[in-house]
Amino acid sequence: MSVNPSPARGLLGDTTVRDYSEKLRRFNAFAAPELRRAIASLGLTPGLRVLDAGCGTGEALGWFAEHVRPGGTVAGMDLALPHVAAASTRGDAVHADMLRPPFADATFDLVWSVNVVNHLHSPVEGVRTLAALLRPGGRIALGQSSFLPDMCFAWDARLERVVNEAVRAYYRDKYLVDERGLTAVRANVGLLRAAGLQDVQVRTYTMDRIAPLRPEDARYIGETLFRDSWGGRLRPYLDAADFTEMENLCNPAHEAFALTRPDFHFLQTFTLAVASTPF
């Protein structure tokens, strides 16, 4: 399979060299129970051919292989070369721009794509391109986390609200997108229908986590959310008192650290929208 030329920069800053492998690993370890339930709900059987479009670090390649082997195949593709290198240790992965996939039309029975389509400047075009890779009657499954705002501080809805608003303001400024661009992730059902697919179905899984946390959950919430996504970058978007309170709740060395509170309850959603091509 050939490597495509360097594509244009994605809507949210993706390039061939951008590397957020560690964040992807943390999310996949955190969400593995729900992601694997979502995969199991697809009723896959041995012999099917599956593509993970935007495969990241490739954890799902092994999960799919459990369902389609013997006789089936699982392939991944991703824009970022560091992600492809990581995924290649788990299965077959190729470097490619999703809008220029290096596969023949009508190759796969299922195309799976999680937290990816919203990174495209033209998500409908992306869905149509992926749908063309499906055999007649094949299915495309678009997964997206956090259709609803995450619940981080169950005991303080006001602080949670202003922190979520600060995060959105930060990303609007960072990527120069407006609010509609940031909330377009909610439109997956419409994208599937706009792309001419049929039999659209949707299911949302809730990822509830309470204290005491699994190490995978503590790592994702504490490092990816509290440190990497929040942290000092939110200081300009919060008043001083709210920033200090958030900082203390996110600091493992502080007595108020949220993840060790007996009333800690974190909630995130994962929504899977599935549609099929005509026979």
Confidence of residue 181 (pLDDT cuts 50, 70, 90): low
Domain of residue 143, residue span: 21-147+177-207+269-276
Same domain, 76 and 195: yes
Sheet holding 49-53, edge to edge: 92-95, 73-78, 49-53, 108-114, 134-145, 265-276, 198-210
Domain count, the chain: 2
Same domain, 95 and 203: yes
Q: Determine the pLDDT at residue 83.
A: 97
Same domain, 167 and 235: yes
Same domain, 73 and 195: yes
Confidence of residue 205 (pLDDT cuts 50, 70, 90): very high
Mean pLDDT of 15-21: 91
Residue 209 has pLDDT above 90, yes or no: yes
Rounded Cα–Cα distance for residues 263 and 92 (Å): 43
Rounded Cα–Cα distance for residues 189 and 185 (Å): 10
Residue 6 lies in a domain: no
Same domain, 219 and 126: no
| Closest-CA residue to 184 (of 198, 166, 172, 196) | 172
Same domain, 123 and 228: no
Residue 13 lies in a domain: no
Rounded Cα–Cα distance for residues 140 and 135 (Å): 11
Q: Determine the pLDDT at residue 14.
A: 75
Mean pLDDT of 24-31: 98
Residue 1 has pLDDT above 50, yes or no: no
Q: What is the pLDDT of residues 122-146, one digit of tens each?
A: 899 999 999 999 999 999 999 999 9
Residue 136 lies in a domain: yes
Mean pLDDT of 266-273: 98
Residue 14 lies in a domain: no
Residue 250 lies in a domain: yes
The CA distances from residue 57 to 72, 152, 263, in Å, are: 21, 26, 33
Q: What is the pLDDT of residues 244-263, one digit of tens each?
A: 999 999 999 999 999 999 99
In order, the DSSP letters of 205-235 are EEEEEESSPPHHHHHIIIIIIIIIIIGGGGG
Q: For the chain, what's the residue count?
A: 279
Residue 143 lies in a domain: yes
Share of the chain residues as helix, strand and coil, in percent rounded to the nearest 5: 45, 20, 35
Q: Determine the pLDDT at residue 180.
A: 74
Residue 252 lies in a domain: yes
Percent share of the chain, pLDDT over 70: 94
Q: Determine the pLDDT at residue 12.
A: 58
Same domain, 130 and 228: no
Instruction: Report the CATH number that the domain containing residue 118 is assigned in CATH.
Output: 3.40.50.150
Rounded Cα–Cα distance for residues 117 and 130 (Å): 10
Same domain, 42 and 133: yes
Mean pLDDT of 198-208: 98
| Closest-CA residue to 213 (of 36, 60, 29) | 29
CB 38 within 8 A of CB 70: no
Confidence of residue 118 (pLDDT cuts 50, 70, 90): confident
The CA distances from residue 95 to 79, 116, 136, 194, 250, in Å, are: 6, 15, 26, 27, 36
Same domain, 171 and 181: no
Residue 9 has pLDDT above 90, yes or no: no
Distant-in-sequence, close-in-space partners of 28: CB < 8 Å, separation ≥ 6: 35, 56, 57, 59, 60
Residue 3 has pLDDT above 60, yes or no: no
Same domain, 140 and 225: no
Same domain, 96 and 165: no
Residue 164 lies in a domain: yes
The token pair that represents 216 in the structure block:
């995978």
Q: What is the pLDDT of residues 47-99, one digit of tens each?
A: 999 999 999 999 999 999 999 999 999 999 999 999 999 999 999 999 999 99
Amino acid at 160: E
Q: What is the largest CA-CA distance in the chain?
A: 60
Confidence of residue 2 (pLDDT cuts 50, 70, 90): very low
Mean pLDDT of 171-177: 86
Q: Determine the pLDDT at residue 6.
A: 38
| Closest-CA residue to 206 (of 255, 147, 142) | 147
Same domain, 40 and 123: yes
